[in-house]
Amino acid sequence: MIGITVVFLGLYLWFTTFPGRPAGDAYRYFTEGDIVSARAYASASRMVSAINFSVELSFLIWFTMGTAGRYLSDWCEKVAGRYTLSILLYFFILWVILRIINLPFSLYSGYFLQKQWGFSTQTLMSWWMDYIKSAALDLVLSATGVILLFFAVNRWPGTWHITAWAFISLWLVVQTFLWPILVEPLFNKFEAAKDPQIIAMVKELADKAGIPVNQVLIMDASRRTTKANAYFTGIGRIKRIVLYDTLLKDYPEDEVRAVIAHEMGHWRQGHIVKGLLESSLGILIMLLILHTFMKIDIHFNGSYPPYLWAYLTLFFVLASYIANPIYNYESRRMETEADRISVMLTEDPNSVIKLQVDLAKRNLSDMSPPLFIEWFAYTHPSTMHRIEMVEKIKPPSE
C-alpha cells in the first residue's frame, strides 16, 4: 500500500510541477490571462496539499513502522493505569501531533492563499474560530469512534470488522440526515429563498423533473469567500438545495437556473442514496483487507495495545489515498449525469455552458488540468470536459 501511495504521490507532484499546456479548446472560452492565473492558483493549492500529505505520511510511517509508536503505547499503558484511559491518551497524543503537522498547511491554504488571491472575506480571527469549532467536533466524534472500535476488536476479534461495517454504514446514514440540520448551522446561516423569481424557477424545474419541491436555502457563504457554489443534501423527506448567496449576487438569472437544474439532476437520479450504498461497499472492502492485515501484523492476547490506533490511522490514510481515483471517478460520473439533466430541464445548453465559464473564471478553476490530476483528484469533471459534454448534446451556436 505504501508503494502504490508513493507512486500516486510522485505522479501528483510531477504533474503539479510540470502541468503541460491546457487543451487548445480552452482558448475558445478563456483568455490567456484567465488560463495563466487559474494555473498559478491551482499549482499553489496542489503543491501545498501534496507537501502536506508527504509530511503527514512520512511521520506516520516513521511512527508506526518504527519503534516510537510502540514505545508510546507501552508508556500510555503504564501511565494511564486503566485500559480505556490508555487508549484515549494514546489517541489524544497522536491526534495533537497530526493537528500540529497539518495546521501550517491548513492555515496557508485556507487563509493566506485565499487572501492572496482575493477570495477570502474572513478575518484571521474568524478563521481560527472555524478551525477550533471543527477541531473540537472532530476530537469528540473521533474519540467516541476509537472507544467503540477498541471495544469491538477486543470483544469480537474474529468478526469485529462486520460489526464495524454495519455501524459505520449506519453512521453514514445518520450523518447524511443530521449533518445539515445540526452541524452546518454551527458554521453558516441558512435562510429559505424568498425571492419570488427563484421560487418560481424552482417550481418550474421541479415540475418538469417530476420531483416534489422541498427546500431551497440560501447560505451566507459571503462571510468567508467570494467563490460561488451550490450543493444538494438530505435524504428521505429532507431534501435541500443550498445556494451560496455569492451565486445569487454575482451570477445572472439563467445561470442560477442552470445551477438549480443541475442540483435537481442529483436529486432525480437518487445520487445521495447511491453514494451511500457505494461508500458502504467501499468501507466493507477496506475493512476486509484491514482484518486480514491485522491478523498477520498484530499480536492479540486478550486485548489490543493502544498501538493498534497508530496502525489503523496509517492504514486508513493509505487506503483512502489509494481509493481516491475510484471514489472520484464515480463522483464525476454522477456530476456528468446531473449536467446532462440540467441541459434537459433548462432546454438551454448555452446557459449551462455560460455558467461553467463564469464559475471557472470567478473561482479560478483550472479549466483543463493534466489528465492524471483530474483522474486522481477531481470530484467534478474539469470545466472543459463539462463544456465538451454539453456541446456534444447540442453543437455550440456561433
Question: Which x/- pattern, by CB under 5 A, does the window 294-333 give for Zn ion?
Answer: ----------------------------------------
Distance between CA atoms of 133 and 127, rounded to whole angstroms? Answer: 10
Distance between CA atoms of 225 and 172, rounded to whole angstroms? Answer: 28
> Within positions 169 to 188, which residues make up the interface with Zn ion, using CB under 5 A?
none
> Within positions 190 to 249, which residues make up the interface with Zn ion, using CB under 5 A?
none
Contacts of 28-37 with CB under 8 Å at 24 or more apart are 29/353, 29/357, 29/367, 29/387, 30/357, 30/360, 30/361, 30/367, 34/360, 34/361, 34/367, 35/367, 35/368, 37/364
Is 291 annotated to bind ligand? no
262 and 342 Cβ atoms separated by less than 8 Å: yes
Stretch in the footprint of Zn ion (CB under 5 A) among 59-67, 150-158, 321-329, 334-342: 334-342
- The CA dihedral of 61, 66, 67, 68, to the nearest 10 degrees, is -30
89 and 150 Cβ atoms separated by less than 8 Å: no
Helix (H, G, I), strand (E, B) or coil at 239: strand
Judged by beta carbon, residue 56 or residue 337, the one nearer Zn ion is 337
Count of residues touching Zn ion (by CB under 5 A)? 2
Indicate which residue of 77, 255, 339, 374 is catalytic: 339
User: Residue 85: how many CA atoms within 13 Å on its side-chain side?
Assistant: 7
Indicate which residue of 77, 255, 263, 366 is catalytic: 263
* Residue 253 known to be catalytic: no
Judged by beta carbon, residue 26 or residue 355, the one nearer Zn ion is 355
Residue 279 CB, nearest approach to Zn ion (Å): 17
Is 255 annotated to bind ligand? no
Judged by beta carbon, residue 26 or residue 258, the one nearer Zn ion is 258
- Here the cell at position 192 is 429559505
Stretch in the footprint of Zn ion (CB under 5 A) among 52-60, 70-78, 128-136, 338-346: 338-346
* Residue 348 known to be catalytic: no
Residue 266 CB, nearest approach to Zn ion (Å): 6
Judged by beta carbon, residue 202 or residue 338, the one nearer Zn ion is 338
**Residue 240 pairs with which residues in a beta bridge?**
215, 233
- Here the cell at position 139 is 476530537
Residue 334 CB, nearest approach to Zn ion (Å): 7
Residue 355 CB, nearest approach to Zn ion (Å): 12
Residue 331 CB, nearest approach to Zn ion (Å): 9
Three-class SS of 272-315:
HHHHHHHHHHHHHHHHHHHHHHHHHHCCCCCCCCCCHHHHHHHH
Annotated binding site: 262, 266, 335
Q: Which residues sit at the interface with Zn ion, rule CB under 5 A?
A: 335, 338
Give catalytic residues, as residue numbers.
263, 339
